[in-house]
Amino acid sequence: MSTLTPPAPDVVATEEPARHRTSQALGRSSDEPAVAPGARTADGATLLLCGLLVSGAAVHFAVAPQHVVAWRAQGIAFAAVAAVQGILAVGLAVRRSRSRLVAVAVVQAAVAGVWALSRATALPFGPRPRLRLPATTVDVLATATEVLSVLVVVALLLRREPRPGRGPARGLLRSTAAALPGVAVVALTAAVLVTPAGRHGAAGSTGGAAAVHGTAALRAPLALGTQRQLGQQLTAARRVALRYPTLADARRAGLLQAGPFNPGSALHMVDIAQGGRTSFDIERPLSWLYSGTSPTSPVVGVMYYLAQKRAPSGGFAGPLDEWHVHQGACYRPEPGGKLFVPFSPDADGTKADCDRARGTYLDRTGWMVHAWVVPGWDSPAGVFSHANPNIVCADGSTTVTDQSKGCRGT
Instruction: Determine the average pLDDT of the residues in 376-401.
Output: 89
Tens-place pLDDT, residues 166-195: 444 444 445 445 545 555 555 454 444 434
Range from 163-177, 202-216, 257-271 that averages highest in pLDDT: 257-271
Please indicate, yes or no, whether residues 276 and 191 belong to a single structural domain of this protein. no
Please indicate, yes or no, whether residues 267 and 321 belong to a single structural domain of this protein. yes
Q: Is residue 402 a part of any domain in this protein?
A: no
What's the predicted TM-score (pTM) here?
0.52
Please indicate, yes or no, whether residues 52 and 189 belong to a single structural domain of this protein. yes
Is residue 208 over pLDDT 70?
no
pLDDT category at 315 given cuts 50, 70, 90 is very high
Residues of the domain holding 61: 33-198
Please indicate, yes or no, whether residues 154 and 230 belong to a single structural domain of this protein. no
Q: Is residue 162 a part of any domain in this protein?
A: yes
Please indicate, yes or no, whether residues 130 and 193 belong to a single structural domain of this protein. yes
Of residues 10 and 258, more confidence is placed in 258
Q: Is residue 238 a part of any domain in this protein?
A: yes
Please indicate, yes or no, whether residues 157 and 239 belong to a single structural domain of this protein. no
Question: Which residues lie closer than 8 Å to 15 by C-beta, 6 or more apart?
Answer: none
Query: What does the pLDDT read at residue 42?
Result: 55
User: How many domains, in total, are found in the chain?
Assistant: 2
Q: Is residue 280 a part of any domain in this protein?
A: yes
Please indicate, yes or no, whether residues 174 and 292 belong to a single structural domain of this protein. no
Is residue 239 over pLDDT 70?
yes
Tens-place pLDDT, residues 101-155: 999 999 999 999 988 887 777 666 665 555 556 566 777 888 888 999 999 999 8
pLDDT category at 70 given cuts 50, 70, 90 is low
From 163, 198, 233, the end of a domain falls on: 198
Task: Provide the mean pLDDT of the chain.
Answer: 76
Tens-place pLDDT, residues 20-53: 444 444 444 444 444 444 444 457 788 888 888 9
Please indicate, yes or no, whether residues 37 and 96 belong to a single structural domain of this protein. yes
Range from 129-143, 150-164, 332-346, 353-367 that averages highest in pLDDT: 353-367
Is residue 284 over pLDDT 90?
yes
